[in-house]
A and B are shown apart, each in its own frame.
Chain A
């Protein structure tokens, strides 16, 4: 068990829909998953910028961590109703704020968000997408 410095970083793993690890990052208590993803160049979209008006930041959480979170509010559930590939442990990334007990959680990007028409398209220009 690693002891954390007093900055109390919390470990979060991002995985793609096939279960491959994209990146493990460290973030602070109170940070939301969408902001963390953007800070670390993870391809998680947030069209409405965290105002619970879309479902583009839909992520699937590791079950034991999902259970530790408070229930989603009505407005988040209304958006989740329309998310592609909805699962039992789906949440909107913008609404999940990290706490110490969520250390080591995995957030998986849903399948439908990538490469619907082209399997295994690697970035032909040889560089990963940059965020606009």
Chain B
């Protein structure tokens, strides 16, 4: 059986779960002669993708999955190379990342896996980004101090925020804007972010969706966190929003278990109703949020102070259609939270799907034929949906296909393909490789102290935790310059 030397583009949870499964199914042997090697490349200097840069800071338990990734990285057959941009950059650009073309990888690897995620926010056609309209991704990357360094939102002069979209990212954003900073202080929220939150004037967040409760994409846990958030209350929903959904209205489709539980939560509302003065003792003003269903934005007024909203209703196929009624909503900042798609300049991006096209994890070319030994996992293959459990299940399934192909014949091909044929395009990978080589650009980058490998990441990880402990918080994050400086001072390059 030939060697399996795999380059994984992207070092988030999908990559680590694929690597984990491959490593566990091959016996370890002598690492130099092992038929399995895995190299993970990430354009960010730190590994773990959305687990580090997407999960909300007040959800630290989700990040426990990195303990397993640490163990995977200890396998000598795996190497991580951070701060390397494979292929063309899409905005937002990471200026300090080392660029390398996909073709530079070819002669060093027999297999390729794209686990590049969906990093481009889907925008609203009537709300182009401006100083008053930002994608939710910018906020998330701001409060996680993502290396693309989006600017902080002007929260000191923001009282009302409109979030367009009703998924979990929308609720995360609302929760981060409304949670008392004193509560956030002990989590992994960077100090510069806490400074901005301490000066925030935000009083109300409207979470706006063009359809109704049954079509909202948020899940129970995130909703529950908002309804029980200290110092805030939920604007009670109009009875007509809830009424058509309660039994015994005969026109309902049967509610799923999740929908029933969400309905119960919304009927209960927030503990404690708003007082006439909306003030607690000590002059602390309560904050509020609302779920504004059946509203679709049509733009901002010329002065930027109002969102114009079309009122909607559902047609017989549960699609939103305008009723003809419109209204204005006074707002200071609009955050669009409408999902994400993959990078359109990426190899084999399918514009109809918004991500790569695959057959069971095998990447398809533009003619719909299967590329040999080129795979995709996670959001790059499925689109931007699914939490950690779904990511793990998908990653294991793709790893199984990689292995099934590898053991089927000498060239990693199977007899029967769903797509019908293997691609006639030039291969992205080689048949015979040196098992320990890396592209010379990467070698040079390693020597020049521009590439972060896993043991170097672990030193930074330990230092971030140490600084956090000194400040009574979970972690204090470093940016690239700081991290680079720290590794230099430790002689760790």
Contacts and interface: CB of A to CB of B under 8 A. Distances in A.
A93 to B, nearest CB: 13
B141 interface: no
B25 A78 contact: no
A86 B389 CA distance: 13
Contacts, number: 105
B26 A125 contact: yes
Report whether over half of chain A's contact residues are helix, strand or loop; otherwise say mixed: loop
Interface in A68-102: 74-75, 77-79, 81-84, 86
A53 interface: yes
Interface string B380-417: 00000001111011101110110110110000000000
A109 to B, nearest CB: 12
A113 interface: yes
A51 B25 CA distance: 28
Contacts of A123: 25
Contact of A121 (B24, B388, B400): B400
A132 B400 contact: no
Interface residues of B, number: 42
Contact of A78 (B24, B71, B220): B220
Interface string A52-71: 11111010000000000000
A118 B25 contact: no
B68 interface: yes
Given A48-B64, A132-B72, A54 B400 contact: no
Contact of B75 (A116, A125, A132): A132
Contact of A81 (B27, B258, B390, B401): B258
Nearest to A132: B71
B388 A74 contact: no
B400 A53 contact: no
A32 interface: no
A131 B64 CA distance: 16
Contact of A115 (B221, B257, B400, B406): B400
Contacts of B258: 81-82
Contact of A56 (B71, B361, B389, B403): B389
A124 B408 CA distance: 10
B440 interface: no
Contact of B25 (A49, A77, A129): A129
Nearest to A126: B27
A125 B27 contact: yes
Nearest to B69: A132
B312 to A, nearest CB: 27
Contacts of A121: 400, 403-404
Given A49-B61, A77-B261, A121-B403, 9 more contacts: A49-B67, A54-B389, A55-B389, A82-B219, A117-B397, A118-B397, A118-B400, A124-B403, A127-B25
6 contacts: A48-B61, A48-B62, A53-B64, A82-B219, A113-B393, A118-B397
Interface of B: 20-21, 23-27, 59, 61-62, 64-65, 67-68, 71-72, 75, 219-221, 224, 257-258, 261, 360-361, 387-390, 392-394, 396-398, 400-401, 403-404, 406-407
